[in-house]
Amino acid sequence: MADPSHTYLALGDSYTIGEGVPLHESFPYQAVQMLRKAGKRFHAPEIIAKTGWTTDELSAAIAQTALQPTYDLVTLLIGVNNQYRGRSIEEYAVQFDELLQQAITFAGNQPGHVVVLSIPDWGATPFAADRDPQKIATAIDAFNMINKTISNNYKVHYLDITPGTRTSASDESMLAPDKLHPSGKEYKRWAENLATTVGGTFN
């Protein structure tokens, strides 16, 4: 009898849905394709994410969505819009902690089945040409220090994809047409990191 397929819940914002690129080029979809090619049986990812969402808006959407009791893999990438809107780090710390606890619950209380991705640096992109890139980078680093510390506290996987978004932002092939969000080529790097990180967890 074949093993049942694994389930994957992706929580986030525009970076999770893949704003500006076809859905199959988003990192959750690319990661599932990679895991399948490695012989892991996965359903298509279930995604709760929307462009512009902050931590509290993601929480509200989760509360209003009928979900499975548990998932085999859960990813969380959230916070860029908190930073963009000038929301406080203190508020982010509290709300991110709550979201991560929820993600672990969705993963059947198995922290090893949860992956947090760091916040990309949008300030390095052409979209932010009229902004202060160093100020944005400093703010992004501060938010990422919070989500990494909380992730370590709960012993979940943490993927620091931020440095790559800073070096690739000058390469137009790594950006979507809006010159802000990543292209499928950049998301592929995230997906490879994700698939490698969790691949050994699944049959």
Dihedral sign for Cα 187, 189, 191, 193, please.
Answer: negative
Domain ranges of the chain: 8-201
pLDDT tens sequence for the chain (203 residues):
355 799 999 999 999 999 999 999 999 999 999 999 999 999 999 999 999 999 999 999 999 999 999 999 999 999 999 999 999 999 999 999 999 999 999 999 999 999 999 999 999 999 999 999 999 999 999 999 999 999 999 999 999 999 999 988 778 899 999 999 999 999 999 999 999 999 888 87
**Fold adopted by 8-201:** Rossmann fold (3.40.50)
**Residue 178, pLDDT score:** 93
- State the Cα angle at 162 between 73 and 110, rounded to 5°: 20
Q: Annotate the chain with DSSP letters as a single string.
A: -PPPPB-EEEEESHHHHTTTS-GGGSHHHHHHHHHHHTT--BPPPEEEE-TT--HHHHHHHHHTS---S--SEEEE---HHHHHTT--HHHHHHHHHHHHHHHHHHTTT-GGGEEEEPPP-GGGSGGGTTS-HHHHHHHHHHHHHHHHHHHHHHT-EEE--HHHHHHHTT-GGGB-TTSSSBPHHHHHHHHHHHHHHHGGG--
Residue 75: what pLDDT? 98
